[in-house]
Amino acid sequence: MSDVPDNLLYTEDHEYVKPTDDANVVAIGITDYAQGELGDIVYIELPKVGATFGAHDVFGTVEAVKAVSELYSPIAGEVVAVNDRLDKEPALVNSAPYGDGWMIKLRLKDAGETKQLMNAEAYEAHLGSASH
Amino acid sequence: MTTASLEGALKRTPFYEKHVALGAKIVPFAGYEMPVQYAQGLMAEHKAVRERCGLFDVSHMGEFIITGDRAVDFVNYVTTNDVGALELGQVHYSTILNDRGTIEDDCLVYRFPDKIMMVVNASNVAKDFAHIARHAGRFGVQITDVSDSIGLLALQGPLAAGILQPLTKTDLSAIKYYHFTEGEVAGMPMIISRTGYTGEDGFELYHDVKYSDKLWDALVGAGDVTPAGLGARDTLRLEMGMALYGNDIDDTVTPLEANLGWLVKLKKGDFVGKPVLDEQKAHGVPKKLIGFTLGDRNIARHGYPVFTANGQASGTVCSGTMSPTLGIPIGTAYLPTAEAKDGATFEIEIRGKRVPATVVKPPFYKDASHL
């Protein structure tokens, strides 16, 4: 079964939002379920620091051997950090999606928007309905 | 992948329970619930086949048995390769055409002393059967579709012979590539065929489904054997430039256009589709299937738009993936014949951006244990 940590928030598109030490900054990546569905990831295209996104905007692309998937920003904000390690080690998203496989950090435009995201329980229910 | 057959009940091969027990990801393919990859993942499976040995369930493939005094003449008439040139115990790759000279299916043809076996794509079994059966009466042959009673495992990789040999009294070194024999594996009767769809040495084992369970266990227990799914099967065959029906070839192209001229024997006598191929042989083909690579980090996938160097639309990408062995993007597409030259460049549109691609002659991977 896919790993769904309790302390994160989730989208229907299988991105997660993880708190950081700065209350206004979150780390974003794709969930364990998403990396499992994609399979071996070979290339990740990510935005540059300073780029801004609205909720549901495409912020990047993940290429696996057999599939390609766009990445959707779970929430509005400005990119304050990009995980450069993924450039050379994209498979970190497969091996540690919630850890070293994080993709970008966003400074939130409106911290209140996180209320629209799913908690772990809701996301697990969403997965249950997605995989029958 | 075939999605047309998603409607209605999906079939299962005799190995379905094995796949599930191994944690395989199951997907609908050609009307079957098939493993696309196991827990280890596509890359590991692909590497295992190139370096050691992988095991594929390909029981979804269709098998027809053709009997009658004129079985050879009949199969010669409904396929493009020269069945008369096959020795007993030899196999060849071939195509089945329609009257337009385009490809209804690709297939393997096995010549036994008393019969011919044709192996066809799962998604085309019903279509192929109807298509060739129309000519059966004229040749006085019987065609039997035995697809549902035959299980098929492909043991593929440089170590395959060493792993299989202890399980059989048949001397495997006596079976040349694209030859077969009837023998026993782990005490069960089967057809041992030195064929495959990976470019590596290996064997395909056709057997009665009642032996499937025991055969799987015997092979997996025989040594360094990695179960491999359809995902790895596709990347392995594409690295070799081997065609996949529905992607690289279908009933809109002739074998001459699809780089399969070596399967067409125009001098063997009449066969379905021959007039069109005679014409193309004399006057040339309008387009040709080519292999391509493109710059790092631009993976062209099936369906992406293709443009010639001067910007003319030229269909879409047939097959495309990141090559696990070579670490570069590879693929196939049709280009106008004048443009289909080794080293020529053209463009592929990837998410709205046109990127340069280069024509290369397949196979992409040149070090396989059998080319």
B93-122 per-position pLDDT tens digit:
999 999 999 999 999 999 999 999 999 999
Chain B residue with the nearest C-alpha to that of A1? B23
Residue A129: which pLDDT band, with cuts at 50, 70 and 90? confident
**Residue of B42, B234, B297 with shortest CB distance to A40:** B42
Q: How many separate domains does chain A show?
A: 1
CATH code: domain of residue A50: 2.40.50.100
Q: In whole numbers, what is the pLDDT of chain A averaged over residues? A: 94
For residues B341 and B305, what is the distance between their CA atoms, to the nearest angstrom?
A: 19
User: Does residue A129 lie within any of the structural domains?
Assistant: no
Q: What is the mean pLDDT of residues B13-37?
A: 96
Contacts of A36 in chain B (CB under 8 A): 25
Contacts of B321 in chain A (CB under 8 A): 65-66
For residues B275 and B288, what is the distance between their CA atoms, to the nearest angstrom?
A: 19
Which tokens belong to B7?
């409607």
Q: What is the ipTM of this complex?
A: 0.84
H or E element that contains B14? none
H or E element that contains A121? helix A120-130
**Residue of B231, B297, B321 with shortest CB distance to A43:** B297
Residue partners of B190: CB distance under 8 A and separation at least 6: B182, B183, B184, B205, B206, B207, B208, B211, B215
Contacts of A94 in chain B (CB under 8 A): 41
pLDDT, greater one: B54 or A1: B54
User: Does residue A46 lie within any of the structural domains?
Assistant: yes
Question: Within an 8 Å CB–CB cutoff, is residue B368 touching chain A?
Answer: no
Question: What pLDDT shows up at residue B370?
Answer: 83
Question: What pLDDT shows up at residue A66?
Answer: 85
DSSP for B214-239, please give it.
HHHHHHHTTSS-EE--HHHHHHHHHH
**Residues A39-56: tens digit of each pLDDT:** 999 999 999 999 999 999
Q: What is the mean pLDDT of residues B242-259?
A: 98
pLDDT above 70 for B228? yes
Domains, chain B, with CATH or none: 11-57+148-239 (3.30.1360.120), 286-360 (2.40.30.110)
CB contact under 8 A, A68 and B299: yes
pLDDT above 80 for A132? no
Chain B residue with the nearest C-alpha to that of A37? B25
Q: What is the mean pLDDT of residues B351-368?
A: 95
Contacts of A90 in chain B (CB under 8 A): none
Q: Residues B340, B343, B347, B351: what is their CA dihedral angle, to the nearest 10 degrees?
A: 120
Residue B291: which pLDDT band, with cuts at 50, 70 and 90? very high
Q: What is the mean pLDDT of residues B250-259?
A: 98
Question: What pLDDT shows up at residue B2?
Answer: 40
For residues B216 and B193, what is the distance between their CA atoms, to the nearest angstrom?
A: 16
For residues B24 and B17, is the Cβ–Cβ distance under 8 A? no
Question: What pLDDT shows up at residue A101?
Answer: 98
Question: What pLDDT shows up at residue A12?
Answer: 94
Closest CA to B41 of B60, B59, B22: B22
Q: What is the mean pLDDT of residues B271-291?
A: 98
Q: What is the mean pLDDT of residues B30-37?
A: 96
pLDDT above 60 for B254? yes
Q: What is the mean pLDDT of residues A19-36?
A: 96
pLDDT above 90 for B339? yes
Q: What is the pairing mode between strands B345-350 and A15-19?
A: unpaired
Question: Within an 8 Å CB–CB cutoff, is residue A1 touching chain B?
Answer: no
The percentage of residues in chain A with a pLDDT greater than 90, rounded to a whole number, is 90
Residue B1: which pLDDT band, with cuts at 50, 70 and 90? very low
Q: What is the mean pLDDT of residues B172-201?
A: 98
pLDDT above 90 for B130? yes
H helices, E strands: number in chain A: 4, 9
pLDDT above 60 for B64? yes
Question: What pLDDT shows up at residue B256?
Answer: 98
Size of interface A-B (CB pairs under 8 A): 35
CB contact under 8 A, A66 and B321: yes
For residues A98 and A95, what is the distance between their CA atoms, to the nearest angstrom?
A: 9
User: Does residue A62 lie within any of the structural domains?
Assistant: yes
For residues B10 and B196, what is the distance between their CA atoms, to the nearest angstrom?
A: 25
Q: What is the mean pLDDT of residues B202-219?
A: 98
Q: In whole numbers, what is the pLDDT of chain B averaged over residues? A: 96
**Residues B44-63: tens digit of each pLDDT:** 999 999 999 999 999 999 99
Closest CA to B154 of B45, B59, B234: B59
Question: What pLDDT shows up at residue B296?
Answer: 75
Q: What is the mean pLDDT of residues A8-29?
A: 96
User: Does residue A132 lie within any of the structural domains?
Assistant: no
User: Does residue A128 lie within any of the structural domains?
Assistant: no
Q: What is the mean pLDDT of residues B306-323?
A: 97
Residue B258: strand pairing partners: none
Residue B371: which pLDDT band, with cuts at 50, 70 and 90? low
User: Does residue A38 lie within any of the structural domains?
Assistant: yes
Q: What is the mean pLDDT of residues B177-182?
A: 98
The percentage of residues in chain B with a pLDDT greater than 70, rounded to a whole number, is 98
Which tokens belong to B2?
């075939």
**Sheet of strand A68-72, all strands in order from the earlier edge strand to the far edge:** A41-45, A58-64, A68-72
Range of the domain at A47: 9-111
Q: What is the pairing mode between strands B103-111 and A15-19?
A: unpaired
User: Does residue A48 lie within any of the structural domains?
Assistant: yes
Residue A111: which pLDDT band, with cuts at 50, 70 and 90? confident
Report the gap between the CA of A66 and the closest CA in chain B (Å). 6
Residue B7: which pLDDT band, with cuts at 50, 70 and 90? low
Contacts of B25 in chain A (CB under 8 A): 36
